[in-house]
Amino acid sequence: MKIVIVGTGYVGLVTGACLSEVGVDVVCVDVNQEKIDNLKKGILPIFEPGLDTIVKSNYSKGRLSFSTNLSEAVKDAQVAFIAVGTPPGEDGSADLKYVLQVANTIGSCIDDYIIVVTKSTVPVGTAKKVKSGIASALEKRGVQIDFDVASNPEFLKEGAAVEDFLKPDRIVIGVESDRAKEVLSRLYHPFLLNSHPVLFMDIPSAEMTKYAANAMLATKISFMNDIANLCELVGANVNEVRKGIGSDPRIGNRFIYPGIGYGGSCFPKDVKALFHTSDDYGYNMRILKAVDAVNDDQKHIIFRKIEQHFQGNLKGKVFALWGLSFKPNTDDMREAPSLVLIQSLLQAGAKVHAYDPVAMDEAAHMVDDQVIFTRGAIDAVKGADALVLVTEWAEFRLPDWTKVKSIMNGQVIFDGRNIYDSSQVTEAGFSYYGIGVQP
C-alpha cells in the first residue's frame, strides 16, 4: 500500500515513520523545503524518543521518503493523511486554512480513487469541508473521480508518541463508505496484534471523540489543581487525597496529578476550540470554560508561593529552574508553565538560572535573554536563593540534597510537580513548598 502524509510536524512525522515501520510505502510531504532537506539528511525537526531511529532506518530502506511535491506524491497513493497545523485563530477557534489548501491541491491532481483522512485535530464538520474542497477542485477540472474522506484522530502523547502509535489503546476511524473502512482496516491491521480495537464510527463522532478525550483529561487536571489549592487551605495533603480517590476504579489513578497547569500544543488549544464550537452552536460549555480559567490561574501558583516566601522582595534574588519544557521527554515549549513563571520572576527583578535536558534551545527563542541557561542541573543551583522544580524529568528525581544545599545560597525548594518527599527535603535543611500540601 502506498500512502502520503501531508505535514511533517509532530503528528505527521510520527504517523509516517510508524506506518513505514510496518512495511507501508510512505511519502511525507511538507511545504517547507528546509525541513524536507533536513529529514533526508536524518535531521529531525522535533525531539521524540525512538523517532530518530525509525525515521533513519525506514528512509535508508526506501520505505519512507520525503518530498515537497504533493501533486506528484499523491498520484499513485491509496490514502492521503492530512496532518498539517490548525493554529488557533484570534478567537481561539481552529484555523483550517492549511487543511483546506491541501484538500484543494489533492482535488486538483488525483486521477484515481483515494481516501483523504484528516489526522490533525479538527473541529466537527471539517471532513465535510475537506470533501467539498476536493469535490469543487474536481469540478473545476471537469473530471469525475471517486474519493472518500475519513477522520482518524490521533491520541499520541509527546515523549511517548512512537510507543503510543505502535501499541495504541484504540484506533478511532470515522468513515462514510465500506470501501474506505476496508482499506483503513487493512492499513491498521499490523497494530492490532494485542487485540486493541479499531473503532469505526461515523465521521462527526470520530471528530468529536478527539476533543472529548482531551477535554476530559484537561478537566481531570484542572479539577485536581482546584482540589490541591483547597487542600492547602483546609490543612489536607493532596498526595494522600489523590491516592484515596484514585483507588476507586471509577475515578482511576492516572491523570490526577496536580501541578503548575497543563501546557503543550494540545490541551490548551483543544479545550478552547471545543468551547468555541459549542458557543457557535449556541451552547455554553461552562465546565470547559472553568477548566481553562483554572489552568491559566494555576500557571501563577508557584510565583505566588515564591512571593509569599520572600515577602515580595525578589529583586536580585537568583532562582534555579529545573526543567522548562511543558512536560518531560520533549523539547516542546508551547504553552509551557515555565514561560509564565520566568516572565513573573524577571518582572519582579529576580534572576533566572535554568537547566533543561533538551528544551534549552527551544526555550532560548521564547524567553528574555536575561535568562541564563546552565550546562547541568547542579550548575543551575550554584549560588541560587531558591530551587524551583518546574518539569519532572527523571534526572531531577533523586538529587544529592547535601551537595545541592552546600552550593546554594538559600535553602528553599518549590516543587511544582510534587516529586520530592517533603520530609526528606526538610530533613536535609530546606524549606519545602509543594502543590496542595502543607508547607
Tell me how far, at minimum, the Cβ of 263 lies from ligand UGA, in Å: 4
Which residues are at the interface with ligand UGA (CB under 6 A)?
Answer: 121, 154-158, 214, 217, 221, 255-257, 259, 262-264, 266-267, 326-327
In degrees to the nearest 10, what's the CA dihedral of 46, 48, 50, 51? -40
Helix, strand, coil tally for the chain in percent (to 5): 45, 15, 40
For residue 111, say whether it is annotated as part of any ligand binding site: no
SS3 state at 238: helix
399: cell is 538529587
| Closest by Cα among 61, 70, 57 to 27 | 70
The Cα–Cα gap between 315 and 185 comes to 61
> Nearest distance from residue 218's CB to ligand UGA, in Å?
7
Is the Cβ of residue 211 or residue 373 nearer to ligand UGA in the bound state?
211
CB of 295 to ligand UGA, least distance (A): 9
Per the annotation, the verdict on 266 as an active-site residue is yes
Spatial CA neighbour of 93 closest among 270, 213, 211, 296: 270
C-beta of 163 vs 176, nearer to ligand UGA: 163
- Is 157 annotated among the ligand-binding residues? yes
Q: Which of 18, 28, 231, 266 is catalytic?
A: 266
What minimum distance in Å lies between the beta carbon of 168 and ligand UGA? 10
334 is in an annotated binding site: yes
Q: How far is the CB of 266 from ligand UGA (least distance, A)?
A: 3
Nearer to ligand UGA, 9 or 190 (CB): 9
269 Cβ contact list (under 8 Å, min separation 6): 88, 94, 121, 335
- Are the C-beta atoms of 30 and 68 separated by less than 8 Å? yes
Query: Which has the closest alpha carbon to 107: 122, 129, 86?
Result: 129
Question: What grid cell was written down for 256?
Answer: 490526577
Nearer to ligand UGA, 133 or 261 (CB): 261
Count of helices and strands (H, E) across the chain: 18, 14
How many Cα atoms sit within 13 Å of 14 on the Cβ side? 25
Any known ligand binding at 92?
no
Query: Measured from the CB atom, is 74 or 339 closer to ligand UGA?
Result: 339
Task: Give all strands (DSSP E) within 145-261, no chain letters.
Answer: 147-151, 171-174, 198-201
Q: What are phi and psi of 164, to 5 degrees?
A: -60, -35
Q: Catalytic site residues?
A: 266
Binding residues for NAD(+): 30, 35, 86, 121, 158, 269, 334
Binding residues for substrate: 155-158, 210, 255-259, 263, 327
Binding residues: 30, 35, 86, 121, 155-158, 210, 255-259, 263, 269, 327, 334
